[in-house]
């Protein structure tokens, strides 16, 4: 993980210093003994609606999955004292964030350890994840997500709904930089609207699962490889806009200008893809 993150931070630091033609040398981040903290956040008392849960994470590895009997439970393992997680509560709003460490110059991350492994409970929640350059694995099947918003930098992330979401989700939003991201089991997310924005990278959106209602999908991506996996039998209307993109599609799709349709029955997906000079693949 650290070898993947370091080149990204080098590019960031060089771009910020380009105007003065000054290049910073790697800064040694002071590490200490490896510590594992337990995290246990109870469900806020008196909560009648959804809990607003925000997870603010920087560099490292973040794993989220169901299984908590409380709102959140798990561990944080780190060897930089400033990575110690902090939990704040205000009514039905809960925030878990990665200490007060801030980026100064180009850090040498070769010896840094920062890993969170957290279980989430089944209480209805609006979940927001704010992250930097990191590796993430998210399993959200069987939770009760009413909204889901993820914003990250240069990431390597996998998100899955292995089983149906227990609440109707109004909005699923994912905003990422130059990354490798896959979202699978999206048919189980039960979203009304999905918005995906990205820079250059490799991205897969897989709509497998049990689609319960009509959904709208808006995708904006740069020079990237974008793959949409849509099972046969789901009615789809997909419009492609943007630059010089190459679109490939399986049999079963009908093309008319920039509009691609797939016949089916039941809930429908209406998808708009705005893509730069990249590749769009429609498959099953």
More reliable by pLDDT, 97 or 5? 97
More reliable by pLDDT, 47 or 189? 189
Q: Which residue has the tokens 């689609």?
A: 211
Which pLDDT belongs to residue 135? 97
Which pLDDT belongs to residue 108? 54
Q: Give 187-238 pLDDT, tens digit per residue.
A: 999 999 999 999 999 999 999 999 999 999 999 999 999 999 999 999 999 9
Q: Which residue has the tokens 């990191």?
A: 134
Q: Give 67-84 pLDDT, tens digit per residue.
A: 999 999 999 999 999 999
Nearest CA among 135, 143, 146 for reference residue 170: 146
Structure tokens given for 156: 């390597």
Distance CA 41, CA 69 (A): 10
| Spatial contact of 226 and 203, defined as CB atoms under 8 Å apart | yes
Q: Give 81-113 pLDDT, tens digit per residue.
A: 999 999 999 999 999 999 876 555 445 556 889
Which pLDDT belongs to residue 27? 56
Which pLDDT belongs to residue 46? 80
Which pLDDT belongs to residue 105? 47
CB atoms within 10 A of CB 148: 25
**Strand, helix or coil at 47?**
coil
Structure tokens given for 116: 């969170």
Report whether pLDDT(114) > 80. Answer: yes
CA 260 centroid distance within chain: 27
In the chain, the percentage of residues whose pLDDT exceeds 70 is 86
Say how many domains are in the chain.
1
In the chain, the percentage of residues whose pLDDT exceeds 90 is 78
Q: Enter the pTM of the model.
A: 0.88
* Structural domain boundaries enclosing 247: 2-283
- Least confident range of 22-31, 136-145, 213-222, 264-273: 22-31
- Give strand pairing partners of 149: 128, 173
Report whether pLDDT(125) > 90. Answer: yes
Which pLDDT belongs to residue 1? 42
More reliable by pLDDT, 18 or 55? 55
More reliable by pLDDT, 275 or 106? 275
pLDDT band, very low/low/confident/very high, at 9 (cuts 50, 70, 90)? very low
Nearest CA among 235, 237, 221, 223 for reference residue 273: 221
Report whether pLDDT(15) > 50. Answer: no
């Amino acid at each position: 993980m650290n070898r993947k993150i370091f080149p990204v931070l080098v590019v960031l630091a060089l771009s910020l210093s380009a105007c003065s033609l000054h290049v910073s040398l790697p800064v040694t981040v002071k590490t200490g003994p490896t510590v594992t903290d337990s995290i246990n956040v109870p469900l806020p008392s008196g909560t009648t609606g959804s809990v607003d849960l925000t997870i603010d994470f920087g560099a490292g590895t973040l794993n989220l999955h169901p299984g908590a009997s409380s709102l959140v439970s798990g561990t944080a393992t780190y060897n930089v004292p400033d990575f110690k997680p902090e939990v704040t509560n205000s009514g039905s709003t809960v925030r878990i964030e990665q200490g007060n460490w801030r980026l100064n110059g180009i850090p040498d991350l070769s010896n840094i350890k920062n890993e969170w492994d957290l279980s989430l409970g089944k209480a209805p929640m609006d979940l927001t994840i704010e992250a930097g350059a990191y590796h993430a694995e998210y399993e959200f099947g069987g939770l009760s997500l009413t909204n889901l918003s993820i914003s990250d930098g240069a990431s390597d992330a996998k998100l899955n709904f292995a089983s149906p979401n227990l609440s109707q989700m109004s909005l699923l939003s994912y905003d990422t930089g130059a990354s490798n991201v896959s979202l699978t089991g999206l048919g189980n997310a039960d979203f009304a609207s999905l918005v995906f924005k990205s820079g250059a990278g490799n991205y897969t959106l897989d709509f497998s699962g049990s689609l319960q209602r009509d959904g709208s999908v808006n995708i904006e991506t740069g020079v990237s490889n974008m793959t949409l996996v849509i099972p046969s039998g789901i009615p789809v209307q997909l419009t492609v806009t943007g630059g010089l993109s190459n679109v490939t599609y399986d049999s079963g799709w009908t093309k008319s200008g920039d509009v691609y349709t797939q016949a089916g029955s039941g809930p429908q997906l209406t998808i708009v893809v705005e893509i730069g000079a990249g590749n769009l693949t429609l498959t099953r």
